[in-house]
Structure 1
């Protein structure tokens, strides 16, 4: 798949709440790049979506002007089928989050040196009038050559410009790393970026963010009025965390003071540091020396100033708590919003909706064999599901496997296998998936989560891909098989047409699906790929879904 006729996607390297990142080949300049598809909130529409799309492109182009050794370069920003794609420097690396997950917390000195690199990156961005708004361990790259880089300016905005993504009530970012004033009022600023830096460094030494809780709602509730969690392992980094994590942005330390404290925590001699314009480096303390006296950290005690702040924050916080529930129900990921579309509610006018599902409910886990129902039509003679291969049980046999094809650049993840289908295609899937047929459609299902991937071909068809998907949609709506229907998009993405939608099952679950129709026939055949899963699983399944899609190969 080529984006903008130039960037050939190779393999998936990461994903987040605002998009998916691939390693790609720039076929014009013959170099590898990282390319991110920015996923805009599905609940927007009309003028709001157009304005957000245009501003995302504009602000990403602003970020492209940044040139700093600790910032991942943005090479290009393109619009493919009305979706923004950001083309970036490809850096062989691991994220700080990956390091914490696999190796555990870092020492205060290591964390301080990472903090210095990130502070330099933020200083360069802020000097250019750009706010990052999503500083967190997952957006910090520790390169194979030892460099530390800040990446993903997908949420960046101009300082002093439009401070929210779509207007009042909308906050985008990761709850555990969003500054209190951003969560309460949606206001972005340099101090808010520095608060997120402090939360990131807290996670580096403690292994978790200062407001990490079991749910996003609990995180936001704690952020509203509680002090940050203690950092018993911070050691010399404690003064940095105390200054950056102050609730009141007016009392939060600035770039200069943060750098002074980070140098002390890292054990660096300020005399060895290059002099910075406008900064008195001679005033910095010797390595390992105590920090200069500073105002006390915000401990959450009921001082008059703190109590005033609490009153300011708590009133809009009731709305923020509701925002989390709305965002989670709508499958927005890390987008927090108090604006609900209402489209996820059951259709009160739907009568006798079809009875079907995509597999087990409740926690992930295989359904015991004796609890699987035999194949057959849905009970009660109700309308069939709108897509092939959707079953109220886990179906199929072990997945037939095939060897890798020589010369194929795609490398399946560990635990995945190639499947060569007699229908004329190859695809990579997790080894424990099952395979079955539904008439002329090839069906693949995960017995643990119930996720379903399907492949169908249309030999000799002359109908356009958008027309075909629109006809299927209209037919199923007219037939009553899509109660509580919600359409996320129906349009062109790259060299394919995509229809993404959700609907309601009779027992209250919502399913979500995407159908992809390729544009370029292979030996007179076009292909329709489908992915179906429960709505709450949609975001978690995004990486797997993208990898399966990227691996699909028609036989030539």
Structure 2
């Protein structure tokens, strides 16, 4: 934190840098004063790549300044205002408005996920911002919660950090050999090295909405290879909290960019939800606007561009390879797509192929190849046009084992979890019982899963010491109606400390299933992973 005095650095003879507000992959953001207009501003100092030659550095600097000036022309209430773009000592700086709030990422970290109403408000604001940017030929390419500001004084939502934005038609940083952006929020066509357009920002918005609603990206994994595999190949599984907005989220997370929900329809659906409180539906006869443009614009060739044909063929190949009949072909495809994606991120292709099963590291005939680096699970939600493997064909991720329980079900649990019974409940416990994964199988109860969870929520204070923040949400599990119950409590002893529980209940095949995980509040990411893996691999009647 800076102090008043002569130690302040002044750039371009005008902007006094006073205190560092944050640092990211593309540079440092400073709180500053515009000494000419006597106003507070934010200044982004873009980092220099010392590995570049002088000519390469000059070309990158020129491109950065050109694209920053294009962003400065954007005018929208939900886009950060860029006041100036300057150069000082051959380094570019972007001068922006200074907002008085935290980022969406900070707010989620401090206060937890938002409800569907707030997520819809955020989505509408960002769709408006992206519409203005895309109309001007500017792609953001780094939509994520850390780049969305929530202004305290007005509750205004502000899209910021166009530091890696691309002006339409310009050469991208990715094409010059360096992957830019945040992998958990990056569209699969960008991961696969296909030249992208506005629809890639819309995928990122879909991932952001999932994070806002659940607290975590659906593509979060423990390694870069795992993240890339999740984005490019795994089935997309939105969190249960996304149920009120599920058609929007699923539409935005459609892997084929040609079939992805467009901005206008996404905004209409979110506005409909805010007006009615009901889960929105697609307009009758809807197809993405970019398809309509090709069909309806006189004299325009309706044949997709080469890049889009490539994208479609890769997506079709991915879907075919997901079918369990040809596991060896799937492992080759996974490796090939990930090699293309990882090449820009500096990850060794040889290391990836060793993990794919082709180098002897995987079991023969396994359909879970190329997942040695993946910690997490493929989800149960299937995009339109895809074929999901049956649950009985699924295998346990690396570090897990498939437990065939004598109570008549199977699921994947961590290798070191041990089984115990307590009445009608079965527990799989981590060493020291830090994590407790429970399963209950009973006859259906009156009112179905939602009523069961609501009754449990009402009885929470009597069954769980220090019960608080209970929330029951209607959702789906596979094709079944389900209910998710979340709550925080104080644990059974002072030594145990505060804990959080995720609990999903659904009916299937004439039985009611209840699966939950309980963990210390400081270990929720791992708990959510164990919970998701258990649900995704859960098979009744085994």
**TM-score range relative to shorter protein:** 0.5 to 0.7
Q: What are the Cα deviations for residues 173-196 of structure 1, in whole angstroms up to 9, with x where unaligned?
A: 011111111111052310001111
Alignment CA distance shift 1:234-1:316 (3 Å): closer
39-48 vs 19-28, greater mean Cα deviation: 39-48
Paired residue total: 305
Q: Deviations over 1:31-83 (max 9, x none)?
A: 01000011144433232222111100000000000011110011111111111
Structure 2: how far apart are the matches of 1:303 and 1:15? 40
Structure 1: distance between partners of 2:199 and 2:119: 20
Paired residues of 2:238 and 2:249 also in contact (CA < 8 A): no
Determine if contact 2:179/2:344 at 8 Å carries over to the other structure.
no
CA 1:202–1:41: 2 relative to 1, 3 Å: farther
Q: Separation in 2 of the partners of 1:82 and 1:295?
A: 50
SS at match of 1:105: coil
CA contact (8 A) 2:236 2:253 kept: yes
Matched, 1:321 2:321: no
TM-score (norm 2): 0.53
Q: Is the 8 A contact 1:9 1:22 kept in 2?
A: yes
1:100 to 93, 108, 116: 108
CA RMSD across the alignment: 2.7
Structure 1 segment 12-31 matched on structure 2, within 5 A: 12-31=20-39
Query: Which residue of 125, 142, 159 maps to 1:150?
Result: 159
* Alignment partner of 1:84 is 2:84: no
Secondary structure of 1:268 counterpart = helix
Contact 1:26 1:33 in 2 (8 A): yes
The reply to whether residue 141 of structure 1 matches residue 141 of structure 2 is: no
| Structure (1 or 2) with the greater helix fraction | 2
Alpha-carbon displacement from aligned partner over 1:94-121 (angstroms, at most 9, x marks no partner) = 1000011111111111101100000000
Q: Contact 2:179 / 2:345 at 8 angstroms: preserved in 1?
A: no
Q: Is the 8 A contact 1:108 1:205 kept in 2?
A: yes
**Among residues 237, 250, 253, which one is paired with 1:245 in the alignment?**
253
- Structure-2 change in CA distance of 1:85 and 1:120 (3 Å): same
Structure 1 residues without counterparts, runs of 5 or longer: 270-285, 297-301, 328-556
**SS of residue in 1 equivalent to 2:258:** helix
1:249 is paired with a residue of what secondary structure? coil
TM (normalized to structure 1)?
Answer: 0.51
Q: How far apart are the structure 2 equivalents of 1:326 and 1:83? A: 29
Aligned equivalent of 2:43? 35
Name the CA shift for 1:248/1:312 in 2 (closer, same or farther; >3 Å): farther
The DSSP-based 3-state class of the residue aligned with 2:275 is coil
User: Is the aligned partner of 1:224 residue 2:237?
Assistant: no
Distance in 2, matches of 1:181 and 1:312, equals 15
Report the equivalent of 2:189.
181
Counterpart contact for 1:239–1:291, Cα < 8 Å: yes
Change (3 A) 1:4 1:211: same
The answer to which structure, 1 or 2, has the higher relative contact order (CA under 8 A, 6+ apart) is 1
Which residue of structure 2 lines up, in the alignment, with residue 405 of structure 1? none
Secondary structure of the structure 2 residue equivalent to 1:170: coil
2-side partners of 1:313 and 1:133: how far apart? 24
Q: CA deviation at 1:155?
A: 0.8
Are the structure 2 counterparts of residues 78 and 324 from structure 1 closer, same or farther at C-alpha, using a change threshold of 3 Å?
same
* Preserved CA contact (<8 Å) 2:270 2:280: no
- Counterpart for residue 307 of structure 1: 320
Aligned to 2:275: 268
Match of 2:122 among 109, 114, 134: 114
Aligned to 2:496: none
